[in-house]
Amino acid sequence: MLLMEGKAGLVTGAGSGIGRATAIAVANHGATVGVSDYNEESGKETVALINEAGGKAEFFRCDVSEEEQVKALVDLTANTYGTLDFAFNNAGTAGEFAPIGEMDSAVFDRVMKINLYGVFYCMKYEVLAMEASGGGAIVNTSSINGLIGIPRNASYNASKFAVIGITKNVAIDYGAKGIRVNALAPGPTTTPMLTDALERHTPEFRESMYASLPMRDLLKPEDQANAAVWLCSDQARMITGTTLVVDGGRVP
């Protein structure tokens, strides 16, 4: 069953990991997808994967931490496809690992600029395009680190809690206009971000992380993609303002 037939929209951070898997999944479900990333090479690779499999995708470069670029991205996507039915605001960065007393304030700013302001800028323009299209569905990538504390990364922790807050706010303000807004909270998922982060932690931390997983297995990007597609689809027509936790039971 195709969940996204006839729809068109946007995925940010689609050059890798969860964003790439979701762009591929929405295309497999029949959608036309604007693949966006600030890394042009990896974004175009995602487009090639989709088009070679018979799907419909184009690459639109954008650094989500730059408001003007985000505005241009949303306008270009909506104008190209004549609609904006869904948006997966997923681009993110892990930042640096350090206790707050040793944290470089510039790193904190940068993580907030990508993970929180990026989502803010995207939604600010997406709701306008969706209103013009008669409604739509937005999914913002938070994290289980938007629900629980983590060691040595105040910037990431704070940004991901804030994504859940802003999701709830926009869901309330735009529900009557036919726009649904939800958050996805992935647990540890096998992407370059997780691999890089684990390399920067101690072996003890890595062992405790695996031991904390009830299903004793990491998530796959496709596990997150399946959830994101469903939230974007009409099957979730009455679901808004919620956070879907896809973590193999990690958060008790």
Verify binding: residue 45, ligand NAD, rule CB under 6 A: no
What string of DSSP letters covers 170-230?
A: HHHHHGGGTEEEEEEEE-SBSSHHHHHHHHTS-HHHHHHHHHT-TTSS-B-HHHHHHHHHH
CA distance 182 to 168: 7
> Cα separations (Å) of 146 from 28, 218, 238, 245?
29, 18, 23, 10
Select 86 or 133, whichever has its Cβ closest to ligand NAD. 86
Stretch binding ligand NAD (CB under 6 A), from 50-58, 72-80, 184-192, 235-243 = 184-192
Interface residue with ligand NAD among 64, 111, 116, 229 (CB under 6 A) is: 64
Verify binding: residue 32, ligand NAD, rule CB under 6 A: no
CA distance 2 to 147: 32
Verify binding: residue 126, ligand NAD, rule CB under 6 A: no
Verify binding: residue 76, ligand NAD, rule CB under 6 A: no
CA distance 241 to 252: 21
Closest distance to ligand NAD from the beta carbon of 82 (Å): 24
User: Has 156 been annotated as catalytic?
Assistant: yes
Binding mask 212-241 for ligand NAD (x = CB under 6 A): ------------------------------
Lookup result for tokens 């996805």: 184
Interface residue with ligand NAD among 9, 17, 55, 95 (CB under 6 A) is: 17
Select 50 or 64, whichever has its Cβ closest to ligand NAD. 64
Question: Chain centroid to CA 38: how far?
Answer: 14
Helices (H) and strands (E) in the chain, counts: 9, 7
Verify binding: residue 28, ligand NAD, rule CB under 6 A: no
Interface residue with ligand NAD among 83, 141, 153, 155 (CB under 6 A) is: 141
Residues with active-site annotation: 156
